Structure 1
């Protein structure tokens, strides 16, 4: 069965420009049925192309409204629950970014039950962004995508967080995910997928760390499909957040403007445990591997996509598209536990220069078990953030090792800050050990 290490084998071969063939697949994946690679690639390309057409979404809306009209005529005493039109957004007007330095959006993949978490995240982010001069009197648009139909309450209460302005227009947009993009593609063996999920459940005797089918669909969609939605047609940069994320610090610089001015393609602040391909020494590829006794081993370091800034030119590039297509056909999103963070990391190590990657040190962020506190005394003065709980200082963090490759000056600043706060952190750890004893 193809594991994450198998993904790295494929990546290694991909780096050395070996052409995909049936024998190549079967040499690494013995339990995968032989497939017609040229046909599958053609099929996959047609699938991706079908997602690019804006008219596809508009026609769905028109068809649904027509069905409602017909229902009213035939069963006018039973139609009331169908009265709401199937209305979702398909485009962001070009003048939305007139007063902003970059064509950026804040993007969340949500469910209706996420409403309280979404409002919390929006409130904190908007309040913290008020410290940024460029967006004090304006706001970047927010895009919400869902595989569900948005309820009226969700749209009402989310939209109320950023009221529409007659001059600046709407700032909140709701998009429907194409079911073809969300569902398992036809080349996936659903029985094998279900058996893999059951094996995880039986092996762990728990559902806690088992990837559900919905999560597998989400990982695939976030890795290589979300940016085909027509709401992103005019978008240059995307800040991707998770419902429930919080921001403990003032955001004093516009992250979208930072990405544009510095020509960055990918931005993060937490890093956890062919001719297209750049030479390894020019990328972060060496960061992904450790050498022991003349052998090279994958160290499982990857970007955390709970907070991700990405230039869509990178995700829509020919090399990234072909890379995703290649992995999508293998089926590891469904048969294994491939995550968007791991694959985005590997893609960055293949196709991006080191200076295309940005570490957002000055943005404090907290989500689930991940917390980033800025490694900067001035920023910390404006934070409700406990440096002692900083994920990037824990043993399973890969942040400091990555900074050796992408930003040595930032690494030096961090070392100075840690040394300044070392006595305080030592006292905290001693106190914690005493309490636990």
Structure 2
């Protein structure tokens, strides 16, 4: 028969045992999700991160039921080593919402060599192929035909006037406008999905957007459109009009001029697709029309004398050299890049199991250009 004292001792033993077990489990859980645990060296066959990690790296995937058909496509990420935290968050969402089911490859581009630390963390997130590329210096730095004194003066004037990003991002805008698709690692691909650090993907993507592009002959896909800051592109449209006049045969017959101009091309209404998200055709950018257009802009020097961004340049190029039916609004891909977001509405929101608030949606706000896109059809 158990005495009261023995009962008390037994209860204490049980409590201490449970405390030990829960403490151990909690500690192990914390280790599994902490940055310190992530920074530890991996061991075993999947894979051993010892010594240098080559730029061309393939991590064998575990057996999964992959789709029978895929497009020749890749994700493209232009990032620096210092962007690691932000791009890990973006990539994790891409994997969880889409790519764990499709396993499309990744191409990372940088003006400086990627560190082993960067490669280790990136490759731990996916079973898909990953490649790391170093941008050639001549593709990144200011070209020799630019007058540095004039460019410096222009940057300072923008800074003095409080123009957003007035003193920065010239090399990046030029590279994204006309040089990213010329990189060696991208030559084997036909389609790409551009991904930036610190984005949010709100909805499950249970179909293949790349096959939408391929099967429906699309060349450019977007989620958000808005107006460009006029102070950054004062002569972009004048330069574009000169190019059109000199190359009249390059424009597509049923183009999207109505999206970028309200008067048949006399003026630019500043509407553009927000290019931090874009799913596009690499062959389209490599084509005669856009290649000549970018080269023309590059010689004019507006990427440095003003601040021509890749968003308006890509948008104008897509609007002029593609049929309007080849530009696609990915309504079912919920997306945020500060400070704007596209949140699918109604049944689309429910079908995608989206976690964004439907009331927080930029689609038809006063600064959005989506209504102009809608009016073309």
Q: Distance in 1 between matches of 2:355 and 2:67?
A: 33
Structure 2 contact 252–322 (Cα < 8 Å) conserved: no
Q: Distance in 2 between matches of 1:380 and 1:121?
A: 22
Where 1:219 maps in the other structure, the secondary structure is: helix
Shift of 1:311: 0.6
Shift of 1:288: 1.6
What runs of 5+ residues in structure 1 fail to find an aligned partner?
Answer: 1-83, 92-96, 164-169, 409-437
Shift of 1:279: 5.9
Which structure 2 residues correspond to residues 385-400 of structure 1 after superposition, within 5 A? 385-400=356-371
Residues 369-397 of structure 1 deviation map (CA, whole Å, 9 limit, x = unaligned): 12011244243351111122111121110
Residues 329 and 296 of structure 1: CA distance in aligned 2, closer, same or farther (over 3 Å)? closer
| 1:239 counterpart = 2:193 | yes
* 2:14 aligned residue: none
Higher helix share: 1
State the TM-score, normalized to the length of structure 2: 0.75
Q: Distance in 1 between matches of 2:182 and 2:259?
A: 30
RMSD between aligned residues: 2.6
Structure 1 contact 305–340 (Cα < 8 Å) conserved: yes
- From 161, 172, 176, give the equivalent of 2:130: 172
Shift of 1:88: 3.0
- From 307, 314, 320, give the equivalent of 2:277: 307
Structure 1 contact 89–231 (Cα < 8 Å) conserved: no
* 1:150 aligned residue: 114
| 1:355 counterpart = 2:325 | yes
* 1:268 aligned residue: 222
* 2:139 aligned residue: 181
Q: Distance in 1 between matches of 2:87 and 2:68?
A: 25
Where 1:290 maps in the other structure, the secondary structure is: coil
Where 1:392 maps in the other structure, the secondary structure is: coil
Structure 1 contact 90–231 (Cα < 8 Å) conserved: no
* 1:431 aligned residue: none
Where 1:143 maps in the other structure, the secondary structure is: strand
Where 2:296 maps in the other structure, the secondary structure is: helix
Count of residue pairs brought into register by the alignment:
302
Structure 2 contact 192–280 (Cα < 8 Å) conserved: yes
Where 2:363 maps in the other structure, the secondary structure is: helix
| 1:365 counterpart = 2:329 | no
What runs of 5+ residues in structure 2 fail to find an aligned partner?
Answer: 1-50, 59-65, 228-246
- From 111, 125, 133, give the equivalent of 1:161: 125
Q: Distance in 1 between matches of 2:141 and 2:303?
A: 12
Structure 1 contact 276–319 (Cα < 8 Å) conserved: no
Shift of 1:351: 0.8
State the TM-score, normalized to the length of structure 1: 0.65
Structure 2 contact 108–132 (Cα < 8 Å) conserved: yes
Residues 246-286 of structure 1 deviation map (CA, whole Å, 9 limit, x = unaligned): 11111122111111111101111111113543366x11102
